[in-house]
Amino acid sequence: MAWELLFSTDYGLLSVFVIAFVIGMSFWFARFFSRKIREDQAKAGR
């Protein structure tokens, strides 16, 4: 019942999209911030 509502209704599909987007965005931010931290450490080490 819950899975049918999740994947067959507009609000269910939108919820899946939002959840996937937020998870993807969290991975992107983690990579972005760790790259910037490494760059700042490299500049400070010079």
In whole angstroms, what separates CA 16 from the centre of its chain?
13
Under 8 Å between Cβ of 30 and 38: no
pLDDT at 1 over 90: no
State the CB neighbour count (10 A cutoff) for residue 42: 9
pLDDT in tens, 8-27: 999 999 999 999 999 999 99
Q: What is the pTM of this model?
A: 0.77
What distance in Å separates the CA atoms of residue 38 and residue 7, rounded to the nearest whole number? 41
**11 lies in which domain range?**
2-45
Number of domains the chain is built from: 1
With 0-12 CB in 10 A as exposed, 13-18 as middle and 19+ as buried, what is 12? middle
